[in-house]
Amino acid sequence: MIIEFSSAFIAAFVTLFIVIDPIMVTPIYASLTRSEEAKQRRRVAMEAAFIAACLLTFFGLAGNFMLHHLGISMAAFRTAGGILLFLMGFRMFFEPDGELEAKTPGPKASARENIAFFPLAIPLMAGPGAIATIMLLMGEPEASLIERSAALAATYVVLLSGVLIMAFAGKISDALGRTGMNVISRLLGMLLMALSTQYVFDGVRVGILEKIVAPLGA
């Protein structure tokens, strides 16, 4: 049981960490909260993580039920999610600055009461990629209760790590600099493209190939 949980947790943690990318959130968070006191900055980070955790938990538990009633198969969702994640990874690898600009909010988002919810929780921490990923992890037909619990636990740990990283936002940005942030973004983008390609392969295999091969074998 412990081995199964650990294996599922590590796989989910790596995937979600790449997708949520708390390191990329750091410079945006630092920019939005630069005029706040340290205590207020910490509160904003924790509020954003809490909102993101609630959203991802909801979609992880109820998202597949919604898909079922919409008539969308998990294989189709896996393929679509894989394509979405591949596009994110592609942009992270080839245009790290473009990815940062895409996540940077407009002028209206700088209002004090909106920062925790938008853009930190949505779309930075609980964006389409993260929602698709948690639904894929929780929606595996063969996934056991232990594996689903590990996926949720990994989600919370990733968000908590995001809060810790944001707590040192200024120091991390200064230490890595723009070049360092771009290098990390490219490495994460390459891993994300590999993971998303596997999602597409699995979706096509289950959704198309197995439906063709199975009748032939019968």
Residue 46 CB neighbour total at 10 angstroms: 16
Distance CA 23, CA 31 (A): 14
Q: How confident is the model at residue 141 (pLDDT cuts 50, 70, 90)?
A: low
What is the reported pTM?
0.69
The answer to whether the CB of 23 falls within 8 A of the CB of 166 is no
Q: Is the pLDDT of residue 57 over 90?
A: yes
Domain ranges of the chain: 2-217
Two tokens at 162? Answer: 């995001």
pLDDT at residue 157, rounded to an integer: 97
pLDDT at residue 172, rounded to an integer: 66
pLDDT at residue 17, rounded to an integer: 93
